[in-house]
Amino acid sequence: MSGPSSMRTPLERVRGLGSAHTGTSDFWRQRLTAVAMTLLIVPVIVVVIMLIGRNHAGAAQILGSIPIAIILLLFIVASVWHMKIGMQVVIEDYIHNEKLKIASVMANNFFCVAVALASIYAILKLSSGV
Amino acid sequence: MALSIVHRATGLALYFGTLLLAWWLIAAATGPTAYANVQAFTGSAIGKLIVFGYTWALMHHLCSGIRHFVWDLGYGFKVNEREALTWGALVAGIALTVLVWIIAYAVGGGR
């Protein structure tokens, strides 16, 4: 298997064997989404301030406009992805019971996907004006 | 300084705070009654406190995160630099929170 007869490279044989199993992809994505949100934070705050004190009709009109919907969609995808990774790191740091850890990681995924899809659905519905 | 745990704590607060964001968007997509419920909550004293806390958590996590970018890039590891970055993140987070709320009241307060 690991002898000279193997056609697999040394890297391929060890890939995925670290404690995180998937290498550094989460580390990279955490930084990627962080940079995305750093760029998006000012437009997002501007959008929120635009909505303060407006009634439903005014808010729905603003939220349904194309540039604002796109800004919010980008921010939602980046933030939910970021918080999913962040919470998983916290879970892996503090929960050492293997079954509880797996259940917590699963619950974290469910929560983040639910928040993301609910928010994205709401924005798409506002954009389509139904 | 032990602010790394504050970075984590504000991250956790923001995690659950997204429920408020999702509720607000869903209410806007649902209709005037649902949206009025959100506004009644965010306009109440406890609601304002939560949104203010959320703003601070977001601004602190942002500034503290920028500090982590600096470290990721390999700078700011000397003792005095670490201290400066950490205090800078703390002060900037509070300052930005106050600034955002002042702008929010100035722009949206009269509507």
* Angle, CA of B99, B101 and B102, to the nearest 5°: 65
Q: How far apart are CA A50 and CA B28, in angstroms?
A: 14
Q: Which domain holds residue B10?
A: 4-108
B69–A31: do the CB atoms touch at under 8 Å?
A: yes
- What is the per-residue pLDDT for B102? 96
- The pTM (predicted TM-score) of the whole model is 0.89
- What are the chain B neighbours of A63 within 8 Å (beta carbons)? 25, 28
Residue of A nearest to B12 (CA): A87
Per CATH, is A24-128 categorized as 3.40.228.10? no
Give the gap in angstroms from C-alpha A8 to the nearest C-alpha of chain B: 33
- What is the per-residue pLDDT for B56? 98
Comparing CB atoms, the residue among B22, B66, B103 nearest residue A38 is: B66
| pLDDT (tens digit per residue) in B41-54 | 999 999 999 999 99
ipTM: 0.93
Comparing CB atoms, the residue among A35, A59, A83 nearest residue B15 is: A83
Q: Tell me if A119 sits within 8 A of A76, measured CB to CB.
A: yes
| pLDDT (tens digit per residue) in A47-67 | 999 999 999 999 999 999 999
B29–A119: do the CB atoms touch at under 8 Å?
A: no
**Residue B77 belongs to a domain with what CATH number?**
1.20.1300.10
